[in-house]
């Protein structure tokens, strides 16, 4: 059962579990699971890596999907993530901006030096919330939504996400189902109704277990 945080006649906000595709037509992808659960058509609005869980928006009509996707593309929806990094960035808060190229064949994203075909600008802001035992908890706000963006940015500065098999140590972290990254909050003003919304996705058990090593509770994060 997919957890629903908010539902209206035109859209819904839910929590995507780790390991489930955010888009696609396969039976185990989020649109099909939600459609079966709610008894209506479901249309994706944005992406989230299969190995990442957290808050997502889906539409119930094609028109609503187009409206919300446009709002997302224009930066009217603000998403924040929580991530646990190996090591700790030198600055308590900062902005990372790189040129990224995603290799579709290898399903891997690279930082490159020059703009060329397929290269896109990527930007995020981070803030360190806690640090201990060689790990750091950071809150991240994306300005762009590139494939594997957070993972690549952090690995590029020498602090890959805990448990990241692709951009990190290349070995699994005990107790983790993937990299330690969670889509935590979503803020937006609905483009049609003008309604202000701020929703928070609960943290999965594996994430709270890692946070216990870092000290402070995350109830207010």
pTM of the model: 0.89
* 80 falls within a domain: yes
CATH of residue 42: 3.30.2350.10
Structural domain including 95 reads: 3-212
In-domain check, residue 177: yes
10 assigned to some structural domain? yes
Which residues are known catalytic residues?
49
Q: Is residue 92 part of a domain?
A: yes
Any domain includes 220:
no
Question: Is 217 a domain residue?
Answer: no
SS3 string, the chain, reads CCEEEEECCCEEEEEECCCCCCCCCCCCCHHHHHHHHHCCCCEECCCCCCCCEEEEEEECCHHHHHHHHHHHHCCCEEEEEEEEEECCCCCCEEEEEEEEEEECCCCEEEEECCCCCCEEEEEEEEEEEEEECCEEEEEEEECCCCCCHHHHHHHHCCCCECCCCCCCCCCCCCCCCCCCEEEEEEEEECCCCCCEEEEECCCCHHHHHHHHCCCCCCCCC
Structurally, the chain folds into a number of domains equal to 1
pLDDT per residue over 146-201, tens digit each?
889 999 999 999 999 999 989 987 776 777 777 899 999 999 888 888 888 899 99
Domain presence at residue 134: yes
In a domain, 221, yes or no: no
83-104: per-residue pLDDT in tens? 999 999 999 999 999 999 999 9
């Amino acid at each position: 059962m997919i957890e629903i945080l908010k539902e209206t006649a035109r859209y819904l906000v839910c929590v995507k579990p780790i390991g489930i595709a955010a888009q696609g037509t396969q039976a185990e992808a989020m649109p099909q699971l939600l459609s079966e659960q709610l008894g209506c058509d479901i249309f994706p609005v944005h992406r989230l890596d299969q190995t990442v869980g957290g808050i997502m928006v889906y539409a119930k009509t094609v028109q609503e999907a187009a409206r919300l996707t446009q709002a997302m593309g224009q930066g009217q929806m603000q998403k924040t993530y929580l991530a646990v990094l190996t090591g700790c960035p030198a600055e308590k808060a900062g902005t990372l901006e790189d040129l990224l190229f995603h290799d579709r064949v290898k399903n891997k994203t690279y930082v490159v030096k020059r703009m060329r075909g397929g290269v896109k600008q990527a930007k995020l802001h981070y803030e360190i919330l806690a640090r201990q035992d060689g790990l750091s908890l950071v809150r991240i706000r994306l300005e762009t939504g590139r494939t594997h963006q957070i993972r690549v940015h952090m690995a590029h500065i020498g602090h890959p996400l805990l448990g990241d098999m692709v951009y990190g140590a290349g070995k699994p972290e005990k107790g983790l189902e993937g990299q330690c990254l969670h889509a935590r909050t979503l803020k937006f003003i609905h483009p049609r109704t003008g309604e202000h919304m701020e929703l928070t996705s609960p943290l999965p058990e594996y994430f709270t277990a890692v946070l216990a090593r870092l000290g402070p509770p995350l109830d207010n994060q």
